[in-house]
Chains A and B, each alone.
Chain A
Amino acid sequence: MRINALIQRICLQMIRDKRTLALLFVAPLLILSLMYVMFNGSGDAVKPKLGAVNVPAPVSQALAHADIEVIPYHDMDKETIVSDKLDGALISKDGHWSLLLENVDPTAAKAMQMKVGQIMAGLLLQNGQQGSMDLSQASSLPVEYVYGNADSTFFDVLSPILIGFFVFFFVFLISGIGLLRERTTGTLERLMSTPIRRGEVITGYLTGYGLFAVIQTVIVVLFAVNVLDISLVGSIWNVLVINLLLALVALSLGILLSTFASSEFQMVQFIPVVVVPQVFFSGIFALDGMAEWLQTIARIMPLYYAADALKGVMYKGYGFGDIIGDLLVLVLFVFVFIGLNVIALKKYRKPSASK
């Protein structure tokens, strides 16, 4: 009953605080969309132009689908590329494929090369088994994908990590500051002078803020998958499970760290110390190349495990069995933080002398 009262109160407070709600629900979508737009590069404004010589229809369709403007030519040389302001040309001649690139902007050229390569290989993968004679000649492009497909972009690899990060960050911030405010206004102390148990306080907080964390997680994941069309190979349920666990970690960690802050300002100071380093170790940068001791540090970061699991499910199509290890570690984090929280609350009320 007391837990219910606490949960109801937290919900009521949150609903009254429209701006915090907006931060929790809208801000992640905003940033995610922004990153999506940025990483998906050119966009419509600078659709790259590709001349196509003797290119079969499925290929040019696939290229067009990947936001490349395909212009058919009968013949192609360097002068044509320059005069027609093409970014490159794909030429099929006597069963050999070649790509001619303008290369004014090496990065763009590289991107074009990769994109075309990806598409060719993608088509090959799709059609290879059907024995499509038409495209079998494309096998001369030595590109094959273990994960992802012709449409894979950096964002596809990055986005699982980003989703996890946003869930972690916003839940951490809001739950931490939420409880901190209770500490500074004295309501927590007041609460502890009622017969509520410390465990009940923690449970109430975890559930109350947890509800909002769940809503946020669902919104972010659905938005990422359905609106931004981020690749999701595995099951969306697994993605939700990972993110919910991560939200719980963030929640319990936020509440715990608020013990060590005496103002909102000090709570924000935990962001560069606790949150930002986790991003570095979450797999945005390849960990394999790092020094051994750095890799060891990564192992104590909750986001490392969540990102690993998210990448596994969303990009590599892992099933539940493949991520169970990561999930267990996250559960362990939650239990450790909750345990520490219960201990930390002793500051407000000493344990009963007589049982």
Chain B
Amino acid sequence: MDHTVRVEQVGKRYGNKIVLEKVDLTIERGQIYGFIGPSGAGKTTLVKMLVGMETADEGTVTVLGKKMPNLRMLQEIGYMAQSDALYTELTGEENLRFFASLFKLNKEEQKQRIAYAAELVNLTPDLAKKAGAYSGGMKRRLSLAIALIQNPQILILDEPTVGIDPELRLSIWNELFRLKNEEGKTIIVTTHVMDEADRCDYLAMVREGRVLANGTPRQLTEQYGVNTLEEVFLRAGGKSK
């Protein structure tokens, strides 16, 4: 199976408001796939459909060959929401352990994964602190560690680097590259930061519920005859008006 995620003719509306319209996407295994677009474009709704938290009104979403929503697939999907959903009364480690125990992991694996995920996001020295006492960036990092906890095949990260300093952002991206290259993971990120979009293998430009363009960053810039993704973004946006 070469494609990990397949979105076909997906539409979604809340009442009269069309959130997504005729979205088609194919995400291949081992890709870093970026959704770029302004706030309110429908990125988060799309991402939630991949996780099964939303259903499509029209069309189908398939993940690893299984039609979503599907409870069993969630073992293979690591999700990091836009807002940090942490238990602030609990310590970082307790948060990690709680989420780890929701997945099929034995005691030993659990320990290893917690240590690994904490190390990855540089939180090892702060694990004993309560999450409520964390800074914004630390909370974001803890959320990322939680998304990685069950060693999923697919990582879905909704604006993962918001509020994280450049140094840490770089180290997170390096880790994403490593996860992709060495472990063959499929990584889906949403972002509106263009230099991050540049690092993706493949991009889909989402605007007003539709995918305006998709391709590699190079394809996109060539297609629009511009030099930077930023310009693509503005062009694509302008065209829809």
Contact = CB atoms under 8 A, between A and B. Distances in A.
Given A5-B101, A353-B67, A190 B85 contact: yes
A2 B102 contact: yes
User: Which of A17, A194, A349: most chain B CB closer than 10 A?
Assistant: A194
Given A2-B101, A187-B87, A190-B81, A195 B67 contact: no
Interface in B44-89: 51-55, 66-72, 74-75, 77, 79, 81, 83-89
Interface string B79-110: 10101111111100010001101111000000
B53 A186 contact: no
Nearest to B78: A193
Nearest to B67: A353
Interface string A154-197: 00000000000000000000000000000001110111111111
- Chain B interface size, under 10 / 10 to 19 / 20 to 34 / 35 or more: 20 to 34
Contacts of B104: 195
A5 B81 contact: no
A9 B87 CA distance: 9
A348 B52 CA distance: 9
A351 B69 contact: yes
Nearest to B101: A5
A129 interface: no
Contact of A5 (B55, B89, B98, B146): B98
The secondary structure that dominates the A interface is loop
Contact of A352 (B70, B94, B98): B70
Contact of B75 (A5, A190, A195, A348): A195
B47 to A, nearest CB: 10
A130 interface: no
A279 B206 CA distance: 54
Nearest to B82: A186
Contacts of B86: 185, 187
A354 B67 CA distance: 7
Contact of B85 (A12, A13, A189, A195): A189
Contact of A186 (B52, B71, B83, B98): B83
A349 B87 contact: no
B90 A193 contact: no
A1 interface: yes
Contacts of B84: 186
Interface in A1-54: 1-2, 4-5, 8-9, 12-13, 16-17
Nearest to A13: B89
Contact of A12 (B74, B94, B103): B94
Contact of A195 (B53, B54, B71, B81): B71
A111 B169 CA distance: 78
A9 B90 contact: yes
User: Which of B66, B69, B101, B102: most chain A CB closer than 10 A?
Assistant: B102
B53 to A, nearest CB: 5
B87 A13 contact: yes
A152 to B, nearest CB: 46
Nearest to B99: A194
Given A2-B101, A195-B102, A187 B69 contact: no
Given A5-B98, A189-B53, A192-B53, A197 B71 contact: yes
Contacts of A196: 102
A5 B149 CA distance: 15
A352 B101 contact: no
Contacts of A16: 89-90
User: Which of A13, A185, A189, A353: most chain B CB closer than 10 A?
Assistant: A353
A232 B62 CA distance: 62
A350 interface: yes
B43 to A, nearest CB: 16
A353 B70 contact: yes
Nearest to B69: A350
A350 B55 contact: yes
A189 to B, nearest CB: 6
Contacts of B72: 195, 352
A350 B52 contact: yes
| Closest 6 pairs (CB-CB, A-B) | A190-B85, A5-B101, A186-B85, A194-B102, A195-B74, A16-B89
Given A195-B75, A195-B102, A353-B69, 18 more contacts: A1-B101, A2-B101, A12-B89, A13-B89, A13-B90, A16-B89, A185-B85, A186-B83, A187-B87, A190-B79, A190-B146, A193-B81, A195-B104, A196-B102, A197-B71, A352-B52, A352-B70, A352-B72
Interface of B: 51-55, 66-72, 74-75, 77, 79, 81, 83-90, 94, 98-99, 101-104, 146
24 contacts: A4-B101, A5-B102, A8-B98, A9-B94, A9-B98, A16-B89, A185-B83, A185-B86, A187-B85, A190-B79, A190-B85, A193-B51, A193-B52, A193-B53, A193-B77, A195-B71, A195-B74, A197-B71, A349-B52, A350-B69, A351-B69, A352-B70, A352-B72, A353-B68
